[in-house]
Amino acid sequence: MKLLEVENISKTYKIGEVEVRALQDVSLTIHAGEFIAIMGPSGSGKSTLMHLLGFLDRPDSGTVRLMGRDTSRLSDEAYAFLRNRVVGFVFQQFNLMARSTALENVCLPLLYSDDRAGDLDRSREMLARVGLSNRTGHRPNELSGGQQQRVAIARALVTKPLMILADEPTGNLDSRAGQEILGIFRELHRQGMTIVLVTHGEEVGKEAERVVRMHDGKIVSDERRIPAKEQSVTGIADLDRGGSLRKKRYNYGEFFEHFRLARRVVLNNKLRSFLSILGVLIGVACVITMLALGRGAAESVKEDLARMGSNLLTIRPGSVKVRGASVEAGAATRLTLDDARAIAAVPSVRRVSPQVTGQGQLVFEDKNWTTRVIGAVPEYAPMRNQEPVAGRFFTSDENQRRLRVALVGQTVQKNLFGTEDPIGKTIKINRVNFQILGILPSRGASAFHDQDDMVVIPLMTAMKRLMGKDYLDQVDAEITELGAMPAAQEEISALIIRRHHLTPDRYDSFNIRNFADIQAALSSTTRTFGILLGSVATISLVVGGIGIMNIMLVSVKERTREIGLRKALGATSRDILVQFLVEAVMITFLGGLTGIVLAGVVSWLIATFAKWKMIITFGSLCLAFLFSAGVGILFGLWPAKQAAALDPIRSLRYE
Ligand code: ADP
Ligand code: MG
């Protein structure tokens, strides 16, 4: 039965201007069960012919027929299928994967086959067949040349091909090892395998039942010593369910294998992998930190609003601005106690809290502390949710009498008194004695400063005794209901304009803001920081992606021979593409993972030292993972495509 026929095939190589006609009009028919020796001087075109017979290359002209079927129109994918299932190729250079064991090497073609059931057992069986059952775990560098070639033969046999093509399989071996290898071929032939063998040794030629001699790209003689037996083979149709000669589906086992392979590559190049993930690592860490910061800020604004009540208006002096620049320091409207009283008289205002603010040097025994001093009235406590947690607030009467009493925030308490109870103790504020009445509740840190770092004293005491101010820094007004807010704002504004005889150009010499405005202003600071992190993240991810791309390109270059081998054994372009994509994505995933750890550490540091609220959500982790996977695919695609496009023969020759 005719297994493979080539008819008038030619192949010409071009090197620059020079054309090498490696094959000229060659015709040859290979019958099932034959043992053919191809002989001829070096450069006569034997290897070129073998590559065409083995579907590793295509002829320039002429036809290659497999069991009567013309293969010239078949796709590259179909060619990969034929390499995998029809032909077992044995190379002079063995072409084993150096880092894999004998067993793994034999298994390799099965990775690309859709018939891989029991792959390990089959591979072991093949190794036993070539007499290597006790060397399954050895790597190529732990085997002799003859043993390596036997592994290669087992690899060629494992997919149960229709024929074995061997291109000078004994060329790199000493004569004894060569004899052993030939013995194996002889035995395979005896069992019915079709074998085509390129050889230099005349004695081998004598053994073969048919000898084909080549010279200058032509077949010069073809002698058959024993007539071809009529042997049938399982038709290609059995392999090819459906007629397209193509692997039916991409199996999960293959994907898992790619995953294992990628892991091995990463582990074998630890430093290189680490350096290449740095960009992604920083990018992902920035993304997560940014999101955690944003979430934390939003959360603390919400908490503040809930705590302080959203129906507060804050009236403050502001300076006149002309084209965005302050005109002069004194241009602000100075709010007085009378203003505060007038505001309190507005019907929609329930109560007001006038305040002054200043710096104070606090001394208790041998301890010093500089803090914010707030002069306030008793309304301050309920309006700002600052009812003391211990002791009591001062009364209106105490305020009018300008008593030297104070309430301390928790940071002040901690720094001046430690664990001591401060209530009833006397401290000095700017060298004036004050008695501690109570302790303020903790408000935590928000928007860049510690809100517990302050003391509150009576307004009148502050104005007349401590700061010598006759004007207010701020008046808070509580509005009876939220709906009356805009009207109240208008009314108060009109009131101040009237009381201070303000001309329109000075309307902005004071400002009224509701609490939501203030919070918005505060959170814009965190937003700015977030934008900064966001741009660092973007740049890092792009730079990281380029890093990944670079390392993948190097990897593809380095592993050109490996890629060539995989293709020669039946890997399709898509198999190679997926292999390298898996690798790129794995590297970026590692970057993503370490980025998450780094983000955790950084967020913790920010939360601890800057006292900002940081919230890392599950969603942001997912987003980071998606980001890194996206970068991996995006930047890994090009190198992977380069790998997938490589030509098997040229890649195998790559040095
Ligand atoms: P053999 O295996 O009989 O020694 P080859 O088939 O390898 O011969 O080569 C036949 C001719 O084609 C030689 O002259 C060789 O230089 C040339 N040749 C083979 N492969 C290539 C190639 N990839 N590019 C250019 N020339 C090639
Ligand atoms: Mg050759």
Q: For 176-212, what is each residue's pLDDT tens digit? A: 999 999 999 999 999 889 999 998 877 777 778 899 9
Residue 301 has pLDDT above 80, yes or no: no
Instruction: Name the E strands within 85-183.
Output: 87-90, 163-167
Residue 306 confidence (pLDDT): 63
Residue 259 has pLDDT above 60, yes or no: yes
Residue 35 has pLDDT above 60, yes or no: yes
Residue 6 has pLDDT above 60, yes or no: yes
Better-predicted residue by pLDDT, 86 or 298:
86
- Hey, CA dihedral for 558, 560, 563, 568, is it positive or negative? negative
Residue nearest to atom 12 of ligand 1 (CA): 22
Residue nearest to atom 10 of ligand 1 (CA): 45
Which has the minimum average pLDDT: 74-83, 164-173, 363-372, 501-510? Answer: 501-510
Identify the band that residue 329 occupies on the pLDDT scale cut at 50, 70 and 90: very low
Residue 241 confidence (pLDDT): 56
Distance 79 CA to ligand 2 centre (A): 22
Pocket-forming residues, ligand 1, beta carbon under 6 Å: 13, 15, 20, 22, 40, 42-48
Share of the chain above pLDDT 70, in %: 91
Instruction: Please compute the mean of the pLDDT values over residues 223-252 and round it to a whole number.
Output: 67
Residue type (1 letter), 254: E
588-597: pLDDT as tens digits = 888 999 999 9
In order of 312, 466, 521, the CA distances from 300 in angstroms are 18, 33, 13
Which has the minimum average pLDDT: 129-133, 293-297, 544-548? Answer: 293-297
Name the residue of 14, 17, 20 to mutate for ligand 1: max ligand atoms within 8 A of Cβ.
20
**Closest listed ligand to the CA of 51:** 1
Which has the minimum average pLDDT: 132-141, 216-225, 265-274, 314-323? Answer: 314-323
What's the chain's average pLDDT? 87
Residue nearest to atom 24 of ligand 1 (CA): 13
Distance 123 CA to ligand 1 centre (A): 33
Distance 24 CA to ligand 1 centre (A): 13
Instruction: Please compute the mean of the pLDDT values over residues 541-545 and round it to a whole number.
Output: 87
Closest ligand 1 atom to residue 168 Cα is 2
In order of 359, 635, 636, the CA distances from 546 in angstroms are 52, 7, 9
Distance 411 CA to ligand 1 centre (A): 85
Residue nearest to atom 13 of ligand 1 (CA): 43
Residue 445 has pLDDT above 70, yes or no: no
Distance 21 CA to ligand 1 centre (A): 9
In order of 109, 132, 277, 453, 567, the CA distances from 571 in angstroms are 8, 26, 28, 69, 4
**Closest listed ligand to the CA of 214:** 1
Identify the band that residue 338 occupies on the pLDDT scale cut at 50, 70 and 90: very high
Residue 8 confidence (pLDDT): 95
Residue 246 has pLDDT above 80, yes or no: no
Residue nearest to atom 17 of ligand 1 (CA): 22
Name the residue of 48, 647, 651 to mutate for ligand 1: max ligand atoms within 8 A of Cβ.
48
- For residue 84, what are its two tokens? 């995998």
Residue 615 confidence (pLDDT): 85
Rounded Cα distance, 543 and 103, in Å: 40
Instruction: Please compute the mean of the pLDDT values over residues 133-139 and round it to a whole number.
Output: 93
Helices (H) and strands (E) in the chain, counts: 21, 24
Distance 615 CA to ligand 2 centre (A): 66
Distance 42 CA to ligand 2 centre (A): 7
Rounded Cα distance, 166 and 93, in Å: 11
Beta partners for residue 6, in sequence order: 28, 64
Distance 332 CA to ligand 1 centre (A): 92
Residue nearest to atom 7 of ligand 1 (CA): 47
Residue nearest to atom 16 of ligand 1 (CA): 43
Helix (H) / strand (E) element for 391: namely strand 390-391
**Closest listed ligand to the CA of 171:** 2
Residue 265 confidence (pLDDT): 86
Residue 424 confidence (pLDDT): 92
Closest ligand 1 atom to residue 11 Cα is 12
Contact 578, 258 (CB under 8 A): yes
Range with top average pLDDT, 212-221, 258-267, 329-338, 415-424 = 212-221
Contact 544, 281 (CB under 8 A): yes
Residue 446 confidence (pLDDT): 55
Share of the chain above pLDDT 90, in %: 51
Closest ligand 1 atom to residue 214 Cα is 3
Residue 566 has pLDDT above 90, yes or no: yes
Residue 45 confidence (pLDDT): 94
Residue nearest to atom 15 of ligand 1 (CA): 43
Which has the minimum average pLDDT: 41-50, 99-108, 255-264? Answer: 255-264
Residue 113 has pLDDT above 50, yes or no: yes
Closest ligand 1 atom to residue 50 Cα is 6
Residue nearest to atom 25 of ligand 1 (CA): 13
Residue 321 has pLDDT above 60, yes or no: no
Distance 45 CA to ligand 2 centre (A): 7
Name the residue of 23, 47, 58, 212 to mutate for ligand 1: max ligand atoms within 8 A of Cβ.
47
Helix, strand or coil for residue 203? helix
In order of 59, 70, 160, 245, 571, the CA distances from 73 in angstroms are 12, 7, 25, 12, 19
Distance 220 CA to ligand 1 centre (A): 18
**Closest listed ligand to the CA of 45:** 1
**Closest listed ligand to the CA of 42:** 1
Instruction: Please compute the mean of the pLDDT values over residues 511-517 and round it to a whole number.
Output: 77
Residue 300 has pLDDT above 90, yes or no: no
Closest ligand 1 atom to residue 198 Cα is 2
Contact 30, 3 (CB under 8 A): yes
